[in-house]
Amino acid sequence: MQESDSYQAMLEAVQAFHDKHDFRNTGGEELAYRIALMAEELGEISSCVTKGKSKENLAEEVADLMILLMGTAIAADFDLRNAFWKKMQILMERESRMVNGRIRVSEFRDME
């Protein structure tokens, strides 16, 4: 498999993985299933952090999550790259606050 830093090459690699295992016709692209897989990967990422595992272990688990995210864009037929840039524009316009001693950037809705 050829390595490339381009988003398109990564997306094509994930698509090839889906095609190889016929995800579309075998339940692998069902969205509720994909959410469960992402939750599982978040648990593995959490385990890496809380149990002090190596950066290599953490990187592998985060890569798994990234592959699942890209595959979800394939399964749900949306342009993740476009969604990313639209969301980044929104985030860059937001203000930040310190919440419980940590920085938080959000769409704050003050209760009055």
- Token pair for 112: 């009055």
CB 65 within 8 Å of CB 41: yes
Domain at 7-105, CATH from 1.10.530.10, 3.40.470.10, 1.25.40.10, 1.10.287.1080: 1.10.287.1080
Supply the pLDDT for residue 4. Answer: 77
Residue 61 CB burial class (10 angstroms; 0-12, 13-18, ≥19): buried
Supply the pLDDT for residue 2. Answer: 60
**pLDDT tens by residue, 75-107:** 999 999 999 999 999 999 999 999 999 999 998
Supply the pLDDT for residue 108. Answer: 85
Strands, E, within the chain: which ranges?
Answer: 96-99, 102-105
Burial 11-20 (b: 16+ CB within 10 A, else e): bebbeebbee
**Could you state, in order of their start, the residue ranges of all structural domains in the chain?**
7-105
